[in-house]
């Protein structure tokens, strides 16, 4: 993935982006969690509008709407595939054959939020709608592991949770400070022994404005991917909009069921929050808030960030209902042990999670 940055900068030099994101003002808001605010006055004017219903998480692919088969070839950086071995490697000119499956590609986001902002588009020519499946989610974890940097995160937005294109994709970029959600304390959910075969540990966020689940470790990358995929499939099939943050080189995954668009439709969001024009998707929920108006940027505080994001969260009662259904769908069972509180690796020290030097299952990068 170190390939991505020089290629991304090459596309900057070619003028392929709609604005210069490096010129956007950014600041860490004083406070316990350190929310990050960015002033990006042009993004909402230059970003592609949403072209589908926001009240349905599952919608069929529509080739008449914008999709990633319509992007210019110069926006594509390289192919990214699971090589099936223990090592990762790069082929500069890999020939494609008639028997090849549809390629998964990494492309620039022409309306970037941050430096190195790219899109991972699994099996782009298969024209998959924006919904999680096991193969694609595992590919996203491979990308996070291959990057081997705690500053590189991937995000996913479902339809109804501020995805703007109904064509399967993950977003990713570098941010050189911890996301606030990565610093938030968590409470471990004790699991019954029969549920521990995968090695996955589950916690829920505490003292954070958006309720969410945290999935960690796993005996293998695939074990972790399978558990989170099953959780996401349940959310999709039950029309619960959600966002996913893949953190710590693929070892830590945050899942946020959310209801902001539903509250908007019901007229339950205050007008002053609507006036900010902030659509709280995965990056905003994680604590990197893109603001459109200078006055909002100037007055940004931890209290204002908290107030916005609290509107995104499910109620405690609804969250517990959804959590119980997710556990059933993933085959996890809570035990009767006392829950443990834990601090994030960021919360107790200035260190960042250790970046892995290589992947347990190799990836093949093709240009």
Render pLDDT for 41-60 as a digit per residue (tens, 0 to 9): 866 555 556 666 778 999 99
Please report the pLDDT score of residue 178 as a whole number.
94
Segment among 53-57, 67-71, 239-243 with least mean pLDDT = 53-57
The pLDDT-based confidence of 132 (bands split at 50, 70, 90) is very high
Neighbour-count burial for 87-105, b at 16+ CB within 10 Å, e otherwise: ebeeeeebeeeeeeeebbb
Largest CA distance in the chain: 59
Segment among 13-22, 70-79, 189-198, 271-280 with least mean pLDDT = 189-198
For the chain, which residues make up each domain, given as ranges?
3-90+97-330
Q: What is the pLDDT of residues 155-214, one digit of tens each?
A: 999 999 999 999 999 999 999 999 999 999 999 999 887 655 788 999 999 999 999 999
Beta carbons within 8 Å of 98's beta carbon, 6+ residues apart? none
Return the CATH superfamily for domain 3-90+97-330: ATP adenylyltransferase (3.30.428.70)
Q: Is 169 a catalytic residue?
A: yes
pTM of the model: 0.88
Q: Which residue has the higher pLDDT, 335 or 120?
A: 120
Out of 142, 167, 169, 288, pick the active-site residue: 169
Share of the chain above pLDDT 70, in %: 82
Do the beta carbons of residue 274 and residue 264 sit within 8 Å?
yes
DSSP secondary-structure letter at 52? S
CA distances from 124 to 33, 91, 104, 290, 317 (A): 37, 19, 6, 28, 39
């Amino acid at each position: 993935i170190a390939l991505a940055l020089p290629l991304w900068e090459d596309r900057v030099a070619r003028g392929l982006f709609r604005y210069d994101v490096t010129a956007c003002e950014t600041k860490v808001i004083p406070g316990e969690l350190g929310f990050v605010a960015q002033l990006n006055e042009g993004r909402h004017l230059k970003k592609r509008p949403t072209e589908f219903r926001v009240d349905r998480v599952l919608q069929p692919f529509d080739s008449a709407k914008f999709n990633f088969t319509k992007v210019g070839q110069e926006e594509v950086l390289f192919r990214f595939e699971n090589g099936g071995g223990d090592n990762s490697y790069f082929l500069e000119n890999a020939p494609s054959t008639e028997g090849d499956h549809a390629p998964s590609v990494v492309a620039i986001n022409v309306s970037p939020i941050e430096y190195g902002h790219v899109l991972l588009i699994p099996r782009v020519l298969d024209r998959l709608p924006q919904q999680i499946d096991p193969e694609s989610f595992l590919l996203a974890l491979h990308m996070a592991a291959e990057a081997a940097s705690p500053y590189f995160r991937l995000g996913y937005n479902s339809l109804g949770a501020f995805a703007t294109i109904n064509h399967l994709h993950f977003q990713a970029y570098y941010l050189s400070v911890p996301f606030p959600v990565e610093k938030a304390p968590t409470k471990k959910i004790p699991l019954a022994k029969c549920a521990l075969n995968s090695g996955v540990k589950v916690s829920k966020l505490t003292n954070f404005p958006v309720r969410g689940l945290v999935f960690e470790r796993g005996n293998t990358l695939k074990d972790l991917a399978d558990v989170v995929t099953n959780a996401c499939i349940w959310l999709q099939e039950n029309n619960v909009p959600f966002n996913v943050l893949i953190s710590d080189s693929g070892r830590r995954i945050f899942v946020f069921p959310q209801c902001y668009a539903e509250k908007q439709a019901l007229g339950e969001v205050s007008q002053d929050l609507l006036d900010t024009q902030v659509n709280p998707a995965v990056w905003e929920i994680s604590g990197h808030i893109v603001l459109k108006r200078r006055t909002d940027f100037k007055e940004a505080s931890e209290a204002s960030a908290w107030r916005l994001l609290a509107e995104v969260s499910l109620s405690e009662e609804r969250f517990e209902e959804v959590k119980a259904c997710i556990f059933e769908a993933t085959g996890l069972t809570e035990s009767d042990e006392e829950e443990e509180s834990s601090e994030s690796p960021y919360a107790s020290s200035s260190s960042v999670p250790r970046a892995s030097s290589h992947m347990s299952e190799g990836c093949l990068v093709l240009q």
